[in-house]
Amino acid sequence: MATTGRVKCTWHTSGSVRLVKDPAILAAFAAEFAYCWVCGRTDGPFPRKLEIHHIVKSGRSDERCNLFRACQRCHDIIEGHCCGQPCGGRYPRIELEHVLYLKRIFDARHYNRLRLMILAGRATLPRAQKPPKIYYSEFCITRRCEGWQAAAAMEKKR
């Protein structure tokens, strides 16, 4: 049992990597971010269940650097499932580089590329890139702002 700040958490070892498993960290993360980082949806008038996505799947460590907030639809798209658009067609895939970009914007304080590489057991990760424009447009409509950068600025003011 180790202590991280005020939260007690359990460390599990997967190979040589220590993983954190703590429901309190997940609850605090969910309370801090009450909307999807991809499309901006909340539990409002047209709710989509909000979920916590683990950026690095291996071991699903509950460290803040490995957590990402997404609604059920966007989480499914990140996981590689096809989701149809209301007007027909399919939403474009959200790749790891897009997830890293959004993590860096919305939770910059906990963005730790090196730790993610260690969790993934990789020497490198893809370079962070903006997700496809359709998500940016949807986020702007939903959150009534100028996009992800403006939303990140609003988060910092809180």
pLDDT at 17: 60
**Residue 65 has what pLDDT?**
95
Domain ranges, residue 82: 32-157
- Residue 47 within a domain: yes
Low-confidence spans in the chain with pLDDT less than 70:
1-18, 43-47, 86-88, 154-155, 158
pTM, to two decimals: 0.80
Residue 89 lies in a domain: yes
Distances in Å between the Cα of 55 and the Cα atoms of 2, 28, 116, 119 are: 23, 17, 8, 10
Residue 106 inside a domain? The answer is yes
Domain count, the chain: 1
- pLDDT value at position 117? 94
What's the chain look like in SS3? CEEECCEEEEEEEECCEEEEECHHHHHHHHHHCCCCCCCCCCCCCCCCCEEEEECCCCCCCCCHHHEEEEEHHHHHHHCCCCCECCCCCECCCCCHHHHHHHHHHHCHHHCCHHHHHHHHCCCCCCCCCCCCHHHHHHHHHHHCCCCHHHHHHHHHHC
Is residue 11 assigned to a domain? Answer: no
Residue 65 lies in a domain: yes
Residue 82: inside a domain: yes
